[in-house]
Structure 1
Amino acid sequence: MTPWLQLAAVGGEAAEGGQGAEEGAHVVFHLFGLPVHESIVTMWILMGLIILLGVLVARNLHQVPRTRFQTAVEWVVDSLYGFVTDIMGRERARRFTPLLGSFFVLILFSNYSGLLPVLPHENWFQPPTSRWGVTGGLAVFSFVAVQAYGLARHGLGYFRRFLEGPVFLWPLTVPLAVIEELIKPFSLSLRLFANIFGGEAVLAGLLAALPWFLPMGVMFIEIIAGFVQALIFTMLSALYIEAATADFHHEH
């Protein structure tokens, strides 16, 4: 099989050396007795690259860009800021763009890591967003952030958002509102995981059967899909934060 892309551990491949691991995951090493799978190693590598990129950008900043690199970075930041501003307004966008932009950049890097020409065939490498555990962790972090920002904005009055309709209907509407809130991280994680995992599986199969030329069309689609999925996750997180921090009389 061509080394362009191999979907690590698809089909429930067991960990090497008889080490106990969850189905379909390879344990690269143990840290304080806890297994560290290949998707986590890849996530740490990507995080390191993003931090390094941030350091390089911050070292030679100028009020008026003098390099194409700074110009490109500023364009990306301005685009993200404008995107978040359209959702929640300028004031809150200044506060929440760092978090939402971090989601977008990390997810985009993770989605595109599966398209690298050499690394994906290594047993310590796997695109993080092709693992539900990783996308679930990102979604839970987004969910916790939404609740924290809502409580910070409204205090305990934040829970009034679950009291919809007449009082006599609260026994029915409150549980439904809570369930709807709890479903949000599940839908966020499943949407991202399913799209990336499915695309990786299709591309791996095509590359195994026809390693030249034909899979290029699928790879182009994966480039678009990776960007769209990162954007959707960021947009939905922004919408959830906007709803949690908005004045209640604007929500109904």
Structure 2
Amino acid sequence: MKLRNLLVATGLLASASAASAADGAVSPHAYEIGEIFGIAITNSMVTSWVISLILILVIRLMVGKISLVPSKGQVVIETLVIGVRDLISPIVGKRMVGPTFWLLGGLFTFILISNWSGLLPGVGTIGHDTVQIHFDSVEQQNAFNSLPEGSEEREDMIKELRKEGQVHDHFRYVIRPANADLNMTFALAAVSMVAWLYYIFVYVGPRGVVKDIFGNKADKENVPMPVYYLLTIIFIGVGFIEIISILFRPVSLSFRLFGNMFGGENLLTSMHGIFAFLLPIPFYFLEVIIGFVQALVFTLLVAVYIGLICNHGDEEHGH
């Protein structure tokens, strides 16, 4: 079952879908454009594949053959690498910079370019108009499907359904920013949390993870024994609260990124609908800033999650 269908079933996207259908805004879900081996392919998926391919090709072409006297392209990539390393080093600790750089650097770069991809010409504008009909019952849908395409009876029924508010016009565009699709942001969050589990269990160990979550953080030598044992019970309870917060991390990561990017798409679409030439320009600059901030926030949060358990001072884990 697709993530969108699950959310609709639980009511999380019902109101959003209705509002989007009513005012002709951006659809809260990506459109299917085909199938591969029975797996639905959406416009957001294609955009993410294109972005990944472009990133790989551009980085390879810019770096070229690595040399001690770097080329201009190599300087740009090295600056990006050094910037990300300096950013995450105090958070995850020097010991974890190397193992986590591929994840955090990849997340930041991919999310940043994906966020900015919505500002490119053609994204959200190339497509065609479609009509969505919401039937009250299966019998009504069967009656509609039984009418021949283009017949007067079918057109009359569409007019009646439109009067009842069951027909909505949509602009079905071909290219959709990857992070304006909740499936993509949830996938990014899921990959991040799986990598987080790998890091904490490999570099800290199961015993260290349990101690970090449920262990008593007080200094046994400076706290009276009755108070220390009381704090042990309190910290165990806090550990269970921490487990609940960990379970909600994928939700908060995915919904925060999706909400900002989907909201930005709606904002630009609305501004273009009001006046397409000058009015949207300030909002494009706003989306550039928001795209950068959201990529930074997502990356830093994942780094913080890793650092909370893996970074307890290099003197404790130094080899």
TM over 0.5: yes
1:108 corresponding residue in structure 2: 112
Whether 1:149 and 2:158 are equivalent positions in the alignment is no
Number of matched pairs: 232
Change (3 A) 1:148 1:12: farther
User: Which of the numbers 41, 46, 51 marks the counterpart of 2:46?
Assistant: 41
Question: Which runs of no fewer than 5 residues in structure 1 stay unpaired?
Answer: 1-9, 14-21
- Corresponding residue for 2:20? 11
TM-score, normalised on structure 1?
A: 0.84
Unaligned runs of 5+ in 2: 1-18, 127-172, 217-230
Change in Cα spacing, 1:135 to 1:214, as seen in structure 2 (3 Å) is same
CA distance, structure 1, for counterparts of residue 44 and residue 260 of structure 2: 16
TM-score, with normalisation over the residues of structure 2?
A: 0.67
Q: Which of 201, 222, 243 lines up with 2:308 in the alignment?
A: 243
Out of 176, 194, 216, which is 2:241 matched to? 176
Identity, % of aligned pairs?
Answer: 31
The aligned runs of 1:217-236 (5 Å cut-off) are: 217-236=282-301
Match of 1:99 in 2: 103
Let me know the Cα RMSD of the aligned residues: 2.4
Contact 2:64 2:74 in 1 (8 A): no
1:71 matches 2:136? no
Equivalent position SS for 1:121: coil
> In 2, distance between residues paired with 1:199 and 1:228?
13
Q: Counterpart of 2:181?
A: 131
**3-state SS of paired residue (1:241):** helix
Counterpart Cα distance in 1 of 2:201 and 2:99:
16
More helix by percentage: 1
Residues 12 and 25 of structure 1 are in contact (CA less than 8 Å); yes or no, is this contact kept in structure 2? no
Structure 1 or 2, whichever has the larger Rg, is 2
Residues 186-220 of structure 1 show CA distances to partners (whole Å, capped at 9, x for unaligned) of 11111111111111111110011111112111110
* AA in 2 matched with 1:187: S
In the other structure, the counterpart of 1:209 is 274
CA distance in 2, matches of 1:212, 1:182: 45
Q: In the TM superposition, what whole-angstrom CA distance separates every residue of 1:129-176 from its partner, at most 9, and x where no partner exists?
A: 111111111011111111110000122212222215544446743431
Is the partner of 1:36 in helix, strand or coil?
Answer: strand
